[in-house]
Amino acid sequence: MTDLILASTSRYRAELLSRLRLPFSSIAPQVDETPLAGEAPAALAARLAAAKAQAVAAGHPGDWVIGSDQVAELNGAPLGKPGTVDAACAQLAAMSGQEVRFHTALCLDNGREHLQAMDVTRVRFRALNHEEIRRYVDAEQPLDCAGSFKCEGLGISLFEAIHCSDPTALVGLPLIALSQLLRRAGYALP
């Protein structure tokens, strides 16, 4: 079997992928993640997942490369990674009492074949006050996370409900869909 490469430096994605017990390496894709004018959140996630996989696959012919991207959507608009404490607090305040969709796209590419999947997770945030938001952001510093929270940590306390087909998708790498793509690519999984 050829090498498996994760086109990401995200420790969250690497931790999830390690659950499948397949050897892999991680390479940072050099991809501009700027949304295109009028681009829908799901289309943005799919485009970026494919671009990441293809960017790394170009330098590793024949190896399977996993690209993944997640875009949060609130009222039709994409929410990016906040980057700052103030931006994270503003995102969480906007999501308070709202349903947010998380589009997590996958692409498995080896330079010849291009396999894709998409998972959509709906999260209902409970009503959050300013003090709760600030305590949460100070505690977990979710500045590199789409939607400004870490559901695998304290962020779960911000929710009323999660509706999904794959609980790993919200962390950033939907393992159910990825397992299906890897089987199609010839990997032996249980």
Delineate the domains of the chain, giving CATH numbers in brackets: 4-184 (3.90.950.10)
pLDDT tens digits along 81-91: 899 999 999 99
Give 112's Cβ-side CA count (13 Å radius).
4
pLDDT of residue 1: 56
Q: How far apart are CA 114 and CA 118, in angstroms?
A: 14
pLDDT of residue 2: 67
Query: Catalytic annotation on 63?
Result: no
Residue 153 has pLDDT above 60, yes or no: yes
For residue 117, which of 108, 126, 109 has the smallest C-alpha distance? 108
pLDDT of residue 12: 87
Q: What is the mean pLDDT of residues 106-125?
A: 96
Catalytic one of 63, 69, 119, 166? 69
**150 or 124: which leads in pLDDT:** 124
pLDDT tens digits along 117-127: 999 999 999 99
Enumerate the H helices of the chain as residue ranges.
11-18, 41-57, 85-95, 130-140, 175-184
pLDDT tens digits along 14-46: 999 999 999 999 999 999 999 899 999 999 999
pLDDT of residue 84: 95
Beta bridge partners of 162: 123
pLDDT-derived band at 57 (thresholds 50, 70, 90) equals: very high
What's this model's pTM, rounded to 2 decimal places?
0.91
Residue located via tokens 């420790």? 11
pLDDT of residue 181: 97
> What mean pLDDT, rounded, does the chain reach?
94
Q: Please return the burial class of 187, using the count of CB atoms within 10 Å of its CB with bins 0-12, 13-18 and 19+.
A: middle
